[in-house]
Amino acid sequence: MGDGYTRAGKLTFDFEPGTQTQYSGEGLEYLKHALVKKFKLPFEEIVGKYLLKPDKMIDTRFYWDKNMDEGRFAVAHDRNGEPLPIKKYTQSSAADLLMTTIADYTRFGANVLNKNGLSDHVYREMVTFQDQKQTYGLGWQLFKELKNDEFAIMHSGADPGVRTIIILLPKSQRGIVIFTNSDTGMSLIKNILSRSLDLGDEIIERAK
């Protein structure tokens, strides 16, 4: 399902559902509501119980609260290096605005590689193409048939003044997490991937 907004701010479909595939933040919000209905718990409690606490992600939160240490917050910057206003969101989103640290997120990545908390069935589905364009698994962009018979799973993020990426290589049990707080962060991310990962250039080319 694709989604977009008209000039009037109304949500619309980019194409007929079931005919194409692309990333949909609104689709993840629908999934959030389905989980809330199934578990009969607030979304942040579901994620805390099944992910954050088991993975010991103690510095990860969905919104600003009394425990937020503002001195550790990396302020976003525009292309000219100017800081952008800090928006203190107070509601959780399934598709955006997660606040975390490199330590927490690399711990999450390591647990995905080790299949911690994942059944064999869910893991297989996660690394299996779920769309006809062969782009996405469950929650990850997939790159199959890389050099050395490797495959990669990737998730990237972008907001004003923020560019992030995580890439995991399950076969060789490797991964990389890069967070930047700049609108120019993607050029830095590509440079780091090219220099530090033997499959970096191939993944960059395939991700275009």
109 part of a folded domain: yes
pLDDT tens digits, one per residue of 36-56: 999 999 999 999 999 999 999
Residue 58, domain member (yes or no):
yes
Residue 142 counted as domain residue? yes
Collapsed DSSP state (helix, strand, coil) of residue 140:
coil
Provide the residue count of the chain.
Answer: 208
User: What number of other Cβ atoms are within 10 A of residue 154's Cβ?
Assistant: 18
The domain spanning residue 165 has which CATH number? 3.40.710.10
Tens-digit pLDDT profile for residues 169-205? 999 999 999 999 999 999 999 999 999 999 999 999 9
Asked if the model's pLDDT at residue 23 lies above 50, the reply is: yes
In a domain, 14, yes or no: no
Residue range 92-138, pLDDT digits in tens: 999 999 999 999 999 999 999 999 999 999 999 999 999 888 999 99
In a domain, 32, yes or no: no
Assigned domain for 198 exists: yes
Q: Is 171 inside a domain boundary? A: yes
Domain range enclosing 175: 41-207
Q: Please state, as a whole number, how many other Cβ atoms lie within 10 Å of the Cβ of residue 78.
A: 13
**Within a domain: residue 174?**
yes
Q: What pLDDT score does 2 carry?
A: 45
How many structural domains comprise the chain? 1
